[in-house]
Amino acid sequence: MTSKPTKSITKRAAKPAARSSAHSDVKPLVAILMGSASDLDVMGESAKVLEELGIAHEVVVTSAHRSPLETAQYAEAARDRGLQVLIVGAGLAAHLAGAVAAHTTLPVLGVPLESGPLRGIDALLATVQMPAGVPVGTLAIGTTGARNAALLAVQILALSDPRLARALLDRKAEMTAAVQGLVRRFPEDR
Protein backbone atom coordinates (compact mmCIF):
# COMPACT_ATOMS: atom_id res chain seq x y z
CA MET A 1 0.00 0.00 0.00
CA THR A 2 1.40 3.41 -0.86
CA SER A 3 0.13 6.88 -0.31
CA LYS A 4 1.11 10.48 -0.04
CA PRO A 5 1.52 12.07 3.36
CA THR A 6 -1.85 12.81 4.98
CA LYS A 7 -1.32 16.53 5.21
CA SER A 8 2.13 17.92 4.79
CA ILE A 9 2.39 21.28 6.51
CA THR A 10 5.97 21.91 5.54
CA LYS A 11 8.59 20.09 3.60
CA ARG A 12 12.10 21.29 4.02
CA ALA A 13 15.23 20.44 2.10
CA ALA A 14 18.58 19.95 3.76
CA LYS A 15 21.12 22.71 3.83
CA PRO A 16 24.25 21.69 1.93
CA ALA A 17 26.39 21.39 5.10
CA ALA A 18 25.65 17.88 6.22
CA ARG A 19 24.09 14.99 4.45
CA SER A 20 22.29 15.68 1.26
CA SER A 21 22.58 18.03 -1.64
CA ALA A 22 20.80 21.37 -1.59
CA HIS A 23 18.52 20.46 -4.52
CA SER A 24 14.86 21.01 -3.79
CA ASP A 25 14.03 17.49 -4.94
CA VAL A 26 16.17 16.01 -2.15
CA LYS A 27 14.42 13.12 -0.42
CA PRO A 28 13.59 13.55 3.26
CA LEU A 29 15.47 11.19 5.59
CA VAL A 30 13.44 11.99 8.69
CA ALA A 31 9.73 12.57 9.10
CA ILE A 32 8.25 14.56 11.97
CA LEU A 33 4.67 13.42 12.49
CA MET A 34 2.15 14.90 14.90
CA GLY A 35 -1.46 14.31 15.80
CA SER A 36 -2.68 17.86 15.32
CA ALA A 37 -1.60 21.18 13.87
CA SER A 38 -1.82 22.40 17.48
CA ASP A 39 1.34 20.32 18.14
CA LEU A 40 3.35 22.24 15.59
CA ASP A 41 4.93 24.78 17.94
CA VAL A 42 6.52 22.08 20.08
CA MET A 43 7.37 19.65 17.28
CA GLY A 44 8.91 22.55 15.38
CA GLU A 45 11.78 22.15 17.87
CA SER A 46 12.61 18.82 16.21
CA ALA A 47 12.61 20.54 12.85
CA LYS A 48 14.94 23.27 14.12
CA VAL A 49 17.54 20.72 15.25
CA LEU A 50 17.34 18.88 11.94
CA GLU A 51 17.76 22.16 10.10
CA GLU A 52 20.77 23.08 12.22
CA LEU A 53 22.39 19.82 11.16
CA GLY A 54 21.25 20.02 7.55
CA ILE A 55 19.03 16.95 7.58
CA ALA A 56 16.33 16.75 4.91
CA HIS A 57 12.98 16.17 6.57
CA GLU A 58 9.25 16.56 6.21
CA VAL A 59 6.59 17.60 8.71
CA VAL A 60 3.22 15.88 8.60
CA VAL A 61 -0.03 16.12 10.58
CA THR A 62 -1.84 12.81 10.82
CA SER A 63 -3.93 11.49 13.70
CA ALA A 64 -4.12 7.93 15.04
CA HIS A 65 -7.77 8.57 15.86
CA ARG A 66 -9.01 11.12 13.35
CA SER A 67 -7.24 9.78 10.26
CA PRO A 68 -6.23 6.21 11.18
CA LEU A 69 -6.19 4.86 7.62
CA GLU A 70 -3.98 7.68 6.32
CA THR A 71 -1.65 7.21 9.29
CA ALA A 72 -1.25 3.51 8.48
CA GLN A 73 -0.72 4.22 4.79
CA TYR A 74 1.92 6.84 5.52
CA ALA A 75 3.83 4.49 7.83
CA GLU A 76 3.65 1.62 5.36
CA ALA A 77 5.03 3.75 2.54
CA ALA A 78 7.74 5.48 4.60
CA ARG A 79 10.64 3.07 4.08
CA ASP A 80 10.13 2.83 0.33
CA ARG A 81 10.09 6.61 0.15
CA GLY A 82 13.62 6.65 1.60
CA LEU A 83 12.77 7.80 5.09
CA GLN A 84 15.06 6.38 7.78
CA VAL A 85 13.70 7.62 11.10
CA LEU A 86 10.21 8.69 12.13
CA ILE A 87 9.74 11.20 14.97
CA VAL A 88 6.19 11.14 16.28
CA GLY A 89 4.62 13.63 18.70
CA ALA A 90 1.11 13.49 20.12
CA GLY A 91 -0.78 14.56 23.21
CA LEU A 92 -3.64 13.16 25.33
CA ALA A 93 -4.39 9.49 24.49
CA ALA A 94 -1.28 9.50 22.33
CA HIS A 95 -1.50 6.41 20.17
CA LEU A 96 0.14 7.91 17.11
CA ALA A 97 3.68 6.67 17.70
CA GLY A 98 2.45 3.15 18.43
CA ALA A 99 0.11 3.17 15.45
CA VAL A 100 2.95 4.27 13.19
CA ALA A 101 5.32 1.68 14.68
CA ALA A 102 2.73 -1.01 13.98
CA HIS A 103 3.06 -0.34 10.27
CA THR A 104 6.81 0.09 9.76
CA THR A 105 10.16 -1.41 10.67
CA LEU A 106 11.80 2.03 10.69
CA PRO A 107 12.87 3.32 14.10
CA VAL A 108 10.05 5.34 15.68
CA LEU A 109 10.90 7.99 18.27
CA GLY A 110 7.91 9.12 20.32
CA VAL A 111 7.51 12.55 21.88
CA PRO A 112 4.70 12.81 24.46
CA LEU A 113 3.13 16.26 24.28
CA GLU A 114 1.71 18.37 27.07
CA SER A 115 -1.98 18.90 26.33
CA GLY A 116 -5.01 18.90 28.62
CA PRO A 117 -5.41 18.50 32.38
CA LEU A 118 -2.83 15.70 32.84
CA ARG A 119 -0.10 17.88 31.29
CA GLY A 120 1.53 15.18 29.22
CA ILE A 121 1.63 12.35 31.74
CA ASP A 122 -1.20 10.68 29.82
CA ALA A 123 0.74 10.97 26.55
CA LEU A 124 3.96 9.82 28.22
CA LEU A 125 2.37 6.62 29.50
CA ALA A 126 0.55 5.94 26.24
CA THR A 127 3.76 6.41 24.26
CA VAL A 128 6.25 4.65 26.51
CA GLN A 129 4.14 1.65 27.51
CA MET A 130 4.20 -0.15 24.18
CA PRO A 131 3.62 -3.89 24.43
CA ALA A 132 6.61 -6.11 23.63
CA GLY A 133 7.24 -6.55 19.93
CA VAL A 134 6.41 -3.03 18.73
CA PRO A 135 9.00 -0.62 20.10
CA VAL A 136 8.69 3.14 20.34
CA GLY A 137 11.79 4.90 21.67
CA THR A 138 10.21 7.46 23.97
CA LEU A 139 11.70 10.85 24.79
CA ALA A 140 10.83 13.44 27.43
CA ILE A 141 7.55 15.36 27.45
CA GLY A 142 7.39 18.46 25.27
CA THR A 143 10.12 20.60 23.74
CA THR A 144 12.98 18.77 25.47
CA GLY A 145 11.74 15.52 23.99
CA ALA A 146 11.22 17.10 20.60
CA ARG A 147 14.80 18.40 20.50
CA ASN A 148 16.27 15.15 21.80
CA ALA A 149 14.22 13.07 19.36
CA ALA A 150 15.81 15.00 16.52
CA LEU A 151 19.30 14.56 17.97
CA LEU A 152 18.69 10.85 18.43
CA ALA A 153 17.45 10.61 14.85
CA VAL A 154 20.66 12.27 13.68
CA GLN A 155 22.71 9.90 15.83
CA ILE A 156 20.98 6.99 14.09
CA LEU A 157 21.74 8.51 10.68
CA ALA A 158 25.32 9.14 11.78
CA LEU A 159 25.90 5.39 12.22
CA SER A 160 26.46 5.30 8.46
CA ASP A 161 27.61 8.89 7.92
CA PRO A 162 31.01 9.87 9.38
CA ARG A 163 30.55 13.53 8.39
CA LEU A 164 27.37 13.68 10.42
CA ALA A 165 29.10 11.92 13.32
CA ARG A 166 31.75 14.66 13.27
CA ALA A 167 29.07 17.36 13.24
CA LEU A 168 27.54 15.76 16.34
CA LEU A 169 30.94 15.66 18.04
CA ASP A 170 31.36 19.38 17.32
CA ARG A 171 27.97 20.08 18.92
CA LYS A 172 28.98 18.13 22.01
CA ALA A 173 32.22 20.10 22.23
CA GLU A 174 30.26 23.37 22.02
CA MET A 175 27.95 22.16 24.78
CA THR A 176 30.91 21.23 26.97
CA ALA A 177 32.49 24.65 26.42
CA ALA A 178 29.24 26.31 27.52
CA VAL A 179 29.21 24.51 30.89
CA GLN A 180 30.72 26.77 33.52
CA GLY A 181 32.33 24.19 35.80
CA LEU A 182 33.16 25.03 39.42
CA VAL A 183 31.63 28.37 40.34
CA ARG A 184 32.79 28.77 43.91
CA ARG A 185 34.23 26.82 46.82
CA PHE A 186 33.86 27.31 50.56
CA PRO A 187 36.14 27.89 52.33
CA GLU A 188 37.80 29.69 49.43
CA ASP A 189 41.35 28.90 48.32
CA ARG A 190 43.94 31.41 49.50
Cβ distance to ligand AIR smaller for residue 29 or 87: 87
Residues contacting ligand AIR: total by CB under 6 A: 16
38 lies in the binding site for ligand AIR (CB under 6 A)? yes
Q: Minimum Å distance from CB 67 to ligand AIR?
A: 8
Cβ distance to ligand AIR smaller for residue 91 or 145: 91
The single residue among 12, 65, 81, 171 that binds ligand AIR, judged by CB under 6 A, is: 65
**Piece in contact with ligand AIR (CB under 6 A), picked from 48-56, 76-84, 89-97, 104-112:** 89-97
Spatial contact of 108 and 32, defined as CB atoms under 8 Å apart: no
Q: Which of residues 101-140 bind ligand AIR (CB under 6 A)?
A: 113, 115
63 lies in the binding site for ligand AIR (CB under 6 A)? yes
Binding site for ligand AIR (CB under 6 A): 34-36, 38-39, 63-66, 90-94, 113, 115
